[in-house]
Chain A
Amino acid sequence: MINDIRVGGLIAYCSVKRGNKKTLMFIVFVLSLIFMNLVFLPSMIGGMTVLFTGFMQDYPYGDIVIEPSGDNTYINNADNVLQKVRAVEGVRAATKRLDAGASIEHKQKVVGATITGLLPTEEYDISQYPYIISEGDFLGELSRDEIIIGAMIAGTGFGSEIYDNLGEVRPGSLVDVTYSNGVKRTYKVKGIMEGSFELVDLNALVHYKEIEEVYGLEESKATSVVVRIDKQGSEEQVQDKIREAGVNEQIFTWADKSETLIKQAMQSMGAINIMSKFVSLIVGAALVLIIIYINVLNRKKEIGILKAVGITPGSIVLSYAFLSMFYVSLGILAGLTLYFSLMLYFQANPVTFYETMEIRPQIDPMLLIQSIVTMLTLSVIAGTLPAWSVSKESILKAIWGR
């Protein structure tokens, strides 16, 4: 066995050393593309995931979100919950929100939207809402007949072509809102918010008290209590502490929340991802198989000679295993170089979606390792099979073709 390895190594070494360098470069180039293909798309999707989870934290869920337990529509006595939560160590800020379904009308144009009732002054510490007003101003403590409209439904933001919108709504325009319980209100648009994210730009914001009043709610009801923490990564500890503090509603971390949401959003992406990985692996394996197969056919006579002079079939097969490992290792190295250069490029020049959503690909070491191992394994198998089948042929047939 040791001899087989030494001799296999020698054969492979000579074949690389004196083989055609152009062919070698071409093979390595193609393999590097296959490797790239294997890791690039998942990295982009990873970047998207990071972006989306960021959105989840910055807008609907904070770091931790408390939602009504059981079938309840509302958290009862959210102020009580807030009081408990704010006392928990590691909590930086918390606020309550009331979400409601509504339709918004402006000059005969109607769109459906979720309207979130929030406490404007508290939101500065909680979310990015106050910071993404592209026109006009954010709500104030006294804003009662005023509304903030997402850019996509306002008809000014990017993506307006895709969704129904209100035409050109600007700060100062008047809109009529019909809530899900039939109550109608007229609001003056105070600002347009543009977060480059559908969950934000397709929504509208009013003061918490508006929703409370429209739905006739009392005793500080809330559809969610949004919590921000001091230290990223301590979500779960804080979550436990909140529970220990006697909050009996459902408590989620942003990760819990995003997981379901992103899972849904990414499902189609994931399918494409898996498909593309699968296809590149098949193509890669087929390529290595073809390369080695042609190589083996070209050298069928040599294989016969080697056998005739007493070289074991094991060494011959091993030499091809080494060869394909060598090709693939070079391919992976070249692929990694290409990959990291592209990563650097995209870090500096992120892909933009909806004009402002910047996607920076994420490097996932596990994915890289997994891809490297898969490619090596597949190629060694693909590279060894043809050699194995020829090395089993009779010497006479291999050398003299009969």
Chain B
Amino acid sequence: MIIVKNLKRYYGTGETAVKALKGVSFEINKGEFVAIMGASGSGKTTLLRILALLDDATDGEYTIRGLQVSSLPEAERSYYRLTQVGYVFQDYALINEMSAAENVYILSMMEGKSRKESYETALEALDKVGLKGKHNRVPDELSGGEKQRVAIARAIAKKPDILFADEPCANLDTNNSKQVLEVFKELNEKYGQTIVMVTHEPWHTEYVDRVITLEDGNLVNDEKKKEVKNNPYVPHF
């Protein structure tokens, strides 16, 4: 469902330009749980931001479900981010003045859902990440793992086509990391959520179906860990 062709991203121009992505191509199928790995500075974050429409590629093609998203105007990209793409930040990126529920709820409001519907959607998403009963807490009252799970709830509440996560466990201890990865795995297995996750830790790959490795702006390895269910229909939750 995602097709990336010869994607390039240069920071700056001319001789001094940093070539963060030198032309990567791959496809991701619906229902896959993909890890993007690579050394520091290899271009993982750069790639993920472009995929999540937070940044523009310098060159190359990017289509989601046949839609050429790389050339959409900003207002439409914003709408696409809102409705089709979930993004989980390394440092949670929650709004500190909002409760867990409100952090999730606000996106449904933005989509035009009623107050009640938004609230129910938020609670449902918080349940899915195992935060039942903690929806009224503000970020300061939650552990790192819980915060990250709120962020995941926010990203999945809208039932996005793809969920992106950039080192979601980088700020978490092993225990909390496991909780978060379990949540991803469950979302993927139970609801068929397509997930693209950047990670450093080799042990994280136990949870995923496929590992794409970047090196110095190039895709150097694409390893399918198990043959995925590229089944035509994955029941979307």
Residues of A that sit less than 8 Å from B by CB: 2-3, 6-7, 10-11, 14-15, 17-19, 301-302, 305-312, 315, 395-396, 399
Contacts and interface: CB of A to CB of B under 8 A. Distances in A.
B110 A310 contact: yes
B82 interface: yes
A309 B107 CA distance: 8
Interface in B111-137: 111-112
From B79, B83, B95, B96, name the one whose CB has the most chain A CB atoms within 10 angstroms. B95
Interface string B1-28: 0000000000000000000000000000
Contact of B83 (A19, A310, A315, A396): A310
B160 to A, nearest CB: 10
A396 B54 contact: yes
Contacts of A399: 89, 93
Interface in B61-110: 78-79, 81-83, 87, 89, 93-99, 102, 105-107, 109-110
A308 B110 contact: no
B95 A10 contact: no
Given A14-B97, A14-B98, A308 B54 contact: yes
A15 B96 CA distance: 9
Given A10-B102, A15-B97, A306-B95, A311 B54 contact: no
Nearest to B82: A310
B212 interface: no
A7 B107 CA distance: 8
Nearest to B83: A310
A310 B80 CA distance: 8
Contacts of B55: 395-396
B178 interface: no
B49 interface: yes
A323 to B, nearest CB: 11
Given A396-B54, A396-B55, A310 B98 contact: no
A305 to B, nearest CB: 4
Nearest to A15: B97
A6 B49 CA distance: 28
Contacts of A305: 89, 93-95
Contacts of B111: 3
Interface of B: 49, 54-55, 78-79, 81-83, 87, 89, 93-99, 102, 105-107, 109-112, 138, 154-155
From A15, A309, A396, name the one whose CB has the most chain B CB atoms within 10 angstroms. A309
24 contacts: A3-B112, A7-B110, A11-B95, A14-B102, A15-B97, A17-B97, A18-B97, A302-B95, A305-B89, A305-B93, A305-B95, A306-B106, A307-B78, A308-B89, A309-B107, A310-B79, A310-B107, A310-B110, A311-B82, A311-B106, A395-B54, A395-B55, A396-B55, A399-B89
Task: For the complex of A and B, list the 3 residue pairs with the smallest distance between their C-beta atoms, beginning with the closest.
Answer: A310-B82, A18-B97, A310-B81
Contacts of A307: 78
Given A10-B102, A312-B110, 19 more contacts: A7-B110, A10-B105, A11-B95, A14-B102, A305-B95, A308-B87, A308-B89, A308-B93, A309-B82, A309-B155, A310-B79, A310-B81, A310-B107, A310-B110, A311-B106, A311-B107, A395-B55, A396-B54, A396-B55
A309 B87 contact: yes
Contacts of A17: 97
A18 B106 contact: no
A7 B83 CA distance: 15
B87 A19 contact: no
Nearest to B93: A305
Contacts of A7: 106, 109-110
Contact of B106 (A2, A11, A15, A308): A11
A311 B110 contact: yes
Contacts of B49: 396
B129 to A, nearest CB: 16
Given A309-B81, A396-B54, A396-B55, A10 B97 contact: no
Nearest to A315: B110
A177 B97 CA distance: 82
B109 A308 contact: no
A308 B80 CA distance: 11
A3 B82 contact: no
Given A3-B112, A14-B97, A305-B93, A312 B78 contact: yes
A10 B109 contact: yes
A309 B109 CA distance: 12
Contacts of A310: 78-79, 81-83, 107, 110
A129 B109 CA distance: 74
Contacts of A396: 49, 54-55
B95 A3 contact: no
Contacts of B87: 308-309
B95 A6 contact: no
B85 to A, nearest CB: 8
B25 to A, nearest CB: 24
Contacts of B155: 309
A249 to B, nearest CB: 74
A315 B106 CA distance: 11
Given A14-B102, A18-B138, A399-B93, A6 B81 contact: no
